[in-house]
Amino acid sequence: MTRVIMPETLESLWDAMTAAPEARLFCGGTDLLVRHRREGGGSLIGIDRIAALRGIRYQDGDVVIGAATRFSDILEDPLIRAHLPVLARGVAALASPTIRAMASIGGNIVTASPAADSLPALTVLSARLDLASPNAHRTVALREFITGSHATGLRPGEIVTAVRIALAPRPALHHAEKVGQRRMLSGTLVSLAAVIAMDDDGRIEQASLAFGNLGPTVLVSVEAEAELIGRRLDRDALAAAGVAVRRAARPQDDVRASAAYRLRLAGNLLFRLLDPKIPIVAEKYKGRETAE
Amino acid sequence: MSSLSFTLNGKPVSVDVADDRRLIDLLRQDLGLIGSKEGCGIGNCGACTVLVDGAPRAACLTLAAQIAGRHVVTIEGAATSPLLRLLTESFATHGAVQCGYCTPGMIMAAAALLVRTPSPSRHEIRDGMSGNLCRCTGYHRIVDAIEAAAGRLFAETAK
């Protein structure tokens, strides 16, 4: 019989993991329970009752999102909507309202699907992850944590406890968009997350672009970003960045879409940044600037 | 088997059930509440949507152990919930039901939407219902039914 343990504190989680080291962890269950039913499998430990893993707070210049925080809570959070709109937009397109009320950000990260909807936004925001095991803590960059399709640097006995995102010192243009076969409840063919900051003369000072589902992990093209730096945000600059992205991309060619179509989408999605109605200006954080 | 206690449509329930019994099986097979339907079994269709502590959940992707101590509301809760009753009547009067298989999940998802967004636009209704598939109606009458229910809800709360 499959045992399902639902610890309510981190201490009881560590006890449960020590007692059943082969048990698989889950939070919302929207991914793992599908696989569990298909593959069978041993004991499960559910972490969604652990209050210490849930919630969104501001701490020392970072927005800190507990790993068990549901996407519906992220979407409604005023701090994230005002200052990290790229994340709100990225996860607004994730599955459906019901799934967003179940699924957790930590689960989306450790599942590490190439098509995961939170990962491009978290990548352009240079998110870091707090990892913990009973005797150790470490913080690693998301970009280093995810090592391949469905592969991460999570060590045995370790969990993700929180996601940390530093608030930017100045306003920036934020946009995230995914293209699927339908507008909603759709797998991602290609997705884009972008954060663009200009200097006082209107030239691009910082450009972070990340693409979902163009390879085994989120695609960041340093060459594409370099095409934008020092230029105005215009069609020529974005076309040049698109050429660089297409060169770096290794999209799938499958029943959902051809590789050629995905490459075309990747370049064309960048032109959304030119539409004055599309990118959102992320507000500069004016609240508690000093450490709490 | 473990003893599981939770609240179902406002009443306390205690059952002996396997930890990993799915909520949809617990409801339909063990407790005889067959209003909730299973469609896809993987969270893609919304037919099994129920409310757990007020939030929508796919009962096919929820295990018995997860609902210990929680408040679960299913379509059978329409017997006692004014909001579910209002939605059910509105679906009937607007012809929003054809084969009916998706309807219980539709009504539970609509209830979750109206609790968060009491006066939704048609666009917000479509967004809010985007996890629930209907292969009969073409959705227009479902949106009509929810819009009308929201209007009645607004009129009643304004009284």
Least Cα distance to A97 among A115, A76, A81 occurs for: A76
Q: Band of the pLDDT at A170, cuts 50, 70, 90?
A: confident
Contact A185 B58 (CB under 8 A): no
Residue A290 lies in a domain: no
Q: Is the pLDDT confidence value at A119 over 50?
A: yes
A108 shares a domain with A155: yes
Residues A62 and A118 in one domain: yes
What is the per-residue pLDDT for A291?
Answer: 40
Which range is least confidently modeled, A180-189, B71-80, B104-113, B140-149? A180-189
In this structure, are strands A4-5 and A44-46 parallel, antiparallel, or unpaired? parallel
Chain B residue with CA closest to A49: the answer is B66
Query: pLDDT at position A182, please?
Result: 84
Per-residue pLDDT, A41: 76
Per-residue pLDDT at A169 exceeds 90: no
Q: What is the pLDDT of residue A44?
A: 97
Which residues from B are below 8 Å from A when comparing CB atoms?
18-20, 22, 41-44, 46, 49, 55-58, 61-66, 68, 109, 112-113, 127-128, 130-133
Does the residue A80 lie in any domain? yes
Q: What are A141-159's pLDDT values in tens digits?
A: 999 999 999 999 999 999 9
Among B63, B3, B78, B53, residue whose Cα is nearest residue B27: B63
- Residue in A172, A169, A192 with CA at minimum distance from that of residue A180: A192
Give the CATH number of domain B78-158.
1.10.150.120
Same domain, A131 and A187: no
Question: Is A289 inside any structural domain?
Answer: no
| Partner-chain residue, chosen from B20, B43, B49, that has the shortest CB–CB distance to A4 | B20
**Pair A22, A84 in one domain:** no
- pLDDT class of A287 with cuts at 50, 70, 90: low
The verdict on residue A140 lying in a domain is: yes
Contact A99 B131 (CB under 8 A): yes
Position B5 scores a pLDDT of: 98
Q: What is the CATH number of the domain that holds A261?
A: 3.30.390.50
Residues A72 and A107 grouped into a single domain: yes
Query: Which residue in the set B65, B127, B130 is minimally distant from A46, CB to CB?
Result: B65
Band of pLDDT at residue A198, cut at 50, 70 and 90: very high
pLDDT at B29: 98
CB contacts of A6 in chain B (<8 Å) are: 65-66, 68
Domain B2-77 CATH class label: alpha beta
Same structural domain, A220 and A122: no
What pLDDT score does A290 carry? 42
Does residue A13 lie in a domain region? yes
Mean pLDDT, rounded, of chain B: 96
Rounded to the nearest 10 degrees, the angle between the axes of helix B82-93 and helix B140-158 is 140
CB A61 within 8 A of CB A166: yes
Q: Round the CA-based radius of gyration of chain B to a whole number and report it.
A: 15
Same domain? For A141 and A211 the reply is no
**Chain A stretch 85-104, residues whose beta carbon is closer than 8 A to a beta carbon of chain B:** 95-99, 101-102
pLDDT digits (tens, 9 = 90+) for B114-153: 999 999 999 999 999 999 999 999 999 999 999 999 999 9
pLDDT at A292 over 70: no
From A96, which residue of chain B is nearest by alpha-carbon distance?
Answer: B131
Provide the domain limits for residue A147. Answer: 51-166
| Confidence at residue A288, expressed as pLDDT on a 0 to 100 scale | 55
Q: In percent, how much of chain A has pLDDT > 70? A: 98
pLDDT of residue B158: 77
Closest Cα partner for A44 from A57, A60, A31, A62? A31
- Number of domains within chain A: 3
- Give the residue, A281 or B84, on which the prediction is more confident: B84
Mean per-residue pLDDT for A268-283?
A: 91
Tens digit of pLDDT for each residue in A38-94? 988 789 999 999 999 999 999 999 999 999 999 999 999 999 999 999 999 999 999
Given this model, what pLDDT does residue A90 score?
96
Of the candidates A197, A159, A178, A204, which has an alpha carbon nearest to the alpha carbon of residue A25? A159
Per-residue model confidence (pLDDT) at position A17: 97
**Which chain B residues have a beta carbon less than 8 Å from that of A185?**
44, 130-131, 133
Of B19, B41, B61, the CB nearest to A30: B61
In three-state form (DSSP H/G/I as H, E/B as E, the rest C), the secondary structure along A131-151 is EEECCEEEEEEHHHHEEECCE
- pLDDT at residue number A4: 96
Evaluate the CA torsion angle A179, A182, A183, A184 in order and state its sign: negative
Mean pLDDT, chain A, rounded, equals 94
A291 in a structural domain? no
Fold agreement (B2-77, B78-158): no
Q: Check A185 against B112: CB less than 8 A apart.
A: no
Enumerate the domain spans of chain B: 2-77, 78-158
Average pLDDT of the residues in A233-259: 96
Q: What is the Cα Rg of chain A in Å?
A: 19
